A and B are shown apart, each in its own frame.
Chain A
Amino acid sequence: MSYVIAAYGITGLTLGLYAFHLLRSRARERKTLVGTQESNNG
């Protein structure tokens, strides 16, 4: 049973962390983009 938990646990944790990383990076990029636009607009 521990092997099954390990396989599903590693998969779930990795994909969950990857999803979190993508969402956080997207939010950061959007924030930077808004900052650049405001700076371009003077």
Chain B
Amino acid sequence: MNGLGPIASRLRTVSGALLGILLVTYVYTVANAPIDSVQGVIQKILYVHPPLAYGAYLGFVVTAVCGGLYLWRADEKWDRLAIAGAEVGVIFCTLMIVTGPIWAKGTWGKWWSWDPRLTVTLLLWFVYLAYLLLRSFSEGGARTARFAAVYGLVGIALIPLNYFVIEIFGGRGMHPENLERGSLGEGMGLPFLMGNLTLFVAFWWFVLARWELENLRALGLAKRADPMARAREEIA
């Protein structure tokens, strides 16, 4: 009656415990990170904004991959995992869109600029927000799941565009360039790594918890629709 496979359930428990340790280390390393000589303390937003972006990308990749698996295997568990990936991805993307302008206001002096990276990020957010709206407004069923799977697969094309748009526009936008090896100052690598690790583990905890919830809802619907389901499940 868990609603999750035993391995996935154990993974969620382990990731939850690991998250507690990582969170403490993350806060400690960010608080003790050196102050950037050019930007000042506001540069510390760097330790949360890009990790949120990677989480958002990962969520949409989970949606696309699981959508593809659903089209291939017609197994509803993949569709439910695709929903979980999209929801967590949209939450991470929303936070990326919120933390970015906070940094921009303190650095550029304005909240928003129609810079290529910012514009494509907003588009990416709208695409997967529409995916969630589609899922919540429809009755469900195989037809909706198939359409959502194709939609999720098409939407993923925006991720490489989002990542490389700065290079495509030749660095003419306002958004800083993508981080490369050596672009961080001394002592800034560890808090950045901790930010990525913490939000990566948090991402998987959220996805597994959301997947479990979706599985429980599906199980509940099936049982309400068919009182014999429990008996069949026990026999199987």
Contacts and interface: CB of A to CB of B under 8 A. Distances in A.
Given A8-B48, A32-B220, A40-B227, A22 B91 contact: no
B216 interface: yes
Given A10-B98, A11-B48, A26 B216 contact: yes
A6 to B, nearest CB: 5
A37 B205 CA distance: 28
B58 to A, nearest CB: 15
Interface string B161-205: 000000000000000000000000000000000000000001001
A32 B49 CA distance: 38
B10 interface: no
Given A23-B209, A40-B230, A7 B49 contact: yes
Question: What is the size category of the interface that chain B forms with chain A?
Answer: 20 to 34
Given A33-B223, A36-B220, A37-B230, A3 B106 contact: yes
B41 interface: yes
B229 to A, nearest CB: 8
A9 to B, nearest CB: 10
Interface string A17-42: 01100110110011011101100110
Given A4-B41, A29-B216, A36 B209 contact: no
B220 A29 contact: yes
A18 B105 contact: no
Looking at A8, A11, A34, the one whose CB has the most chain B CB atoms below 10 A away is A11
A27 to B, nearest CB: 10
B127 to A, nearest CB: 21
B54 interface: no
Given A6-B102, A10-B99, A33-B223, A18 B91 contact: yes
Contacts of B105: 3
Interface of A: 1, 3-4, 6-8, 10-11, 14-15, 18-19, 22-23, 25-26, 29-30, 32-34, 36-37, 40-41
Closest 6 CB pairs of A and B: A29-B216, A40-B227, A3-B106, A7-B99, A22-B209, A7-B102
25 contacts: A3-B42, A3-B45, A4-B44, A7-B49, A8-B30, A10-B98, A10-B99, A10-B102, A11-B98, A11-B99, A14-B95, A15-B202, A15-B206, A19-B205, A22-B206, A22-B213, A23-B209, A26-B209, A26-B212, A26-B213, A29-B217, A30-B3, A33-B216, A34-B1, A36-B220
Given A7-B103, A33-B219, A37-B230, 18 more contacts: A4-B45, A7-B48, A10-B95, A10-B98, A11-B48, A11-B99, A14-B94, A15-B91, A15-B202, A15-B206, A18-B206, A22-B209, A22-B213, A32-B220, A33-B1, A34-B1, A36-B224, A40-B223
